[in-house]
A and B are shown apart, each in its own frame.
Chain A
């Protein structure tokens, strides 16, 4: 037997070495390569001289976008950006179900596949601390990099503040780096079917107690009044962080409740306080009495769709979720949907939680100057006005568009839309405590809500949730 050919030990040694090589090299590769220069200044400092839209002519910016009407309006207008700057924009669009997974994996991998991307303000709490987001503050302050007409004072102040954070858990928003720019947003209010309200002689609820009662009444009486299969109120219920932030968090905040208390920089879960337990029981009871069947699978798609399909008498969610059903020809209920700020808290509070579709820049982008030109164009007055008038880019993040006559004319046919927006806009802000474990906390909170809905004791479920979160978040 030829030893060179069939020596098993030699072969195993060779195989072992080959298999171990990548493992050993892996040891040297680090963890996602967070090797950025933390002591260095911003790339914005490199931009000097007079501002020029054509400064990066010939460059290409790559964008990661979520499938959304705002995105459609942006894509439709990209040509004007290229004409203005000479910069080409390439983009990938992903549906919301896997958009954030794609973005998270891309950023965590330490790549610069995308220069700019859509994100929510809550994502700043997750993507900011590891250093994945460019601080846009220095870009905004540099008059060589930013056009005078961009006008940061024109943004609703709550929105700019929502994307600004010091990266410290529990620290209030509005201080520290500007990690994204508000681009489109949603305030959470009640939209209702005017036809069923008229036929049953109902009025929008002014208190949470009235809302619960109203939801039950609609579910009981609407089917007999010609609204086959209609239930009272559509609210989200899936086991996802997204269940907590719209209607639930809005009503929770209006009741003066907090998710965490912050003392000396330490966060203590507060969703198991006696008042929060009582509120959670009431919310679950409202869903049982007047909510949708199969509530635990309800996302905003189902909630919005049910309002449009005349299956839901009311919707407590983003105003845009109702808007897309209310516009002419969009759904069987279009023309019969009105807006209302929703129930007030016991002290008359209309504190409202919000979602902001923001635009951020990859801290690893190699084309930051071009990316910044894109961001200021996309959040600028010119594009946003066109997107609001020609597309469905509402609610406006800029005050000038909210006041714009043409925009108001466009929205006027939706009963109560403008009035509701103006009533809640100053009280709409992020009602959560900023912290990096936001998605874990709110996903677990949604799971807890499902358990309470299923009949478990709210106190024991929320105590368990608070116990779990105190070790993760505190």
Chain B
């Protein structure tokens, strides 16, 4: 009878433990594979220890992909944050239009990113796409959206922004609605203007919510695959080959499994480090916001 209460905490934690093992198993297996030169051409591989990581990190292709990945993540997360907060501030004013728009805003989030990318690919098609058709009256009908390296990257970021800005807006809107009223009432009594109130009260107290959105979006953008692959396949040239696409090509298309997995492990390390830094920053922001609301 004494064993039962002793076991209870372990039983309670069992589902989480199983889930953790479910995550750790493929991760551990992947990590193990990276120590070999396992590929379709070499189904009985040799132990090469850290050679795959050495090769990845000394390849120009890796650094190019890392740079494109960072550009994409910073660009997408940055624009989504600014736009998302702006949209949330507009919707925060209680009006019928705001309430209707709030519902419509969620629509892009309901579309799978890969579908959104295919849809945008058709819309951006220079000769039959609707975007150039709409731009034609302004003399801008001949834009080759994804044919140049810069155009392809910007188009991919634009699709990401279209899909995920509502996510940031909804988080920011939830944050705005949960802010305490008393500091705003006090500011009003003191005669503070709207800009001062926004800068000194709204923004500092809203930052923790915005930061949560930034963390989600930045980490997610570092791992992007679907939008870019469906839109450009990584082209033209290597201009939009982000780390995930490189890993997919190496592991699945070219069947160099160990080498491809090494890319994903490096990407995991990058995402993990970025998350650590951002979460630490979030803690500081939360403390600051608490001081302001107090």
Interface residues in chain A, defined as those with a beta carbon under 8 Å from any beta carbon in chain B:
2, 4-6, 11, 14-15, 18-19, 22-23, 26-27, 31-32, 34, 101, 104-105, 108, 126-127, 129-131, 229, 238-240, 292-297, 311, 436-437, 439-440, 443, 446-448, 450-451, 453-454, 456
Contact = CB atoms under 8 A, between A and B. Distances in A.
Given A5-B9, A23-B32, A296 B235 contact: yes
12 contacts: A14-B10, A18-B21, A23-B24, A31-B33, A31-B43, A130-B41, A239-B232, A239-B237, A294-B147, A447-B234, A447-B237, A451-B237
A2 B6 contact: yes
Nearest to A447: B237
Contacts of B40: 108, 126-127, 129-130, 436
B236 A129 contact: no
B223 interface: no
A311 B237 contact: no
A26 B28 contact: yes
A337 to B, nearest CB: 20
A447 B128 CA distance: 25
B226 interface: no
A15 B24 CA distance: 11
A215 to B, nearest CB: 16
Interface string B45-74: 100000000000000000000000000000
A454 B236 contact: yes
B237 A294 contact: no
B149 interface: yes
B255 A454 contact: no
B29 A26 contact: yes
Contact of A450 (B9, B17, B237): B237
Contacts of B33: 31
B228 to A, nearest CB: 11
A129 B159 CA distance: 40
Contacts of A26: 25, 28-29, 32
Contact of B252 (A11, A101, A240, A294): A101
B144 A293 contact: yes
The majority secondary structure among interface residues of chain A is helix
B145 interface: yes
Chain B: number of interface residues, binned into ranges: 35 or more
A436 B41 contact: yes
Q: Residue among B25, B41, B255 with the most chain A CB within 10 A?
A: B255
Given A26-B28, A451-B237, A453-B236, A294 B5 contact: no
B24 A19 contact: yes
B52 to A, nearest CB: 14
A446 B236 CA distance: 9
B233 interface: yes
Contacts of A108: 40, 255, 257
In the A-B complex, list the 3 residue pairs whose CB atoms are closest, starting with the nearest.
A239-B235, A34-B43, A293-B126
A370 to B, nearest CB: 27
A105 B252 contact: yes
B188 interface: no
A104 B249 CA distance: 12
Interface in B202-245: 231-238
A254 B23 CA distance: 53
B25 A104 contact: no
Contact of A31 (B38, B146, B252): B38
Nearest to A241: B253
Nearest to B45: A31
A22 B43 contact: no
Contacts of B45: 31
Contacts of A437: 41, 254
A239 B236 CA distance: 7
B212 to A, nearest CB: 28
Contacts of A6: 9
Contact of A4 (B6, B235, B255): B6
Nearest to B7: A5
A451 B8 CA distance: 63
B20 A454 contact: no
Q: Residue among B40, B45, B231 with the most chain A CB within 10 A?
A: B40
Contacts of A18: 17, 21
Contact of B28 (A23, A129, A436, A440): A23
Given A23-B29, A297-B146, 6 more contacts: A14-B10, A15-B20, A239-B237, A294-B125, A443-B253, A454-B148
B263 interface: no
A27 B33 CA distance: 9
Given A19-B21, A238-B233, A454-B237, A295 B249 contact: no
Contact of A240 (B29, B32, B233): B233
Contact of B43 (A14, A104, A130): A130
Contacts of B142: 293
Nearest to A19: B24
B205 to A, nearest CB: 37
A35 to B, nearest CB: 9
A280 B291 CA distance: 65
A11 B8 CA distance: 13
B254 A447 contact: no
B36 interface: yes
Contacts of B9: 5-6
Contact of A296 (B6, B25, B146, B249): B146
Nearest to B38: A31
B47 to A, nearest CB: 11
B10 A31 contact: no
Given A31-B33, A126-B255, A239-B233, A22 B25 contact: yes
B148 A294 contact: no
Contacts of B254: 437, 439-440, 443
Contacts of A453: 236
Contacts of A240: 233
Contacts of A447: 234-238
A453 to B, nearest CB: 7
B253 A440 contact: yes
Nearest to A23: B28
B280 interface: no
Q: Residue among A14, A31, A292, A454 with the most chain B CB within 10 A?
A: A31
A239 B246 CA distance: 13
A176 B43 CA distance: 21
B44 A297 contact: no
A11 B7 CA distance: 11
Contacts of A439: 253-254
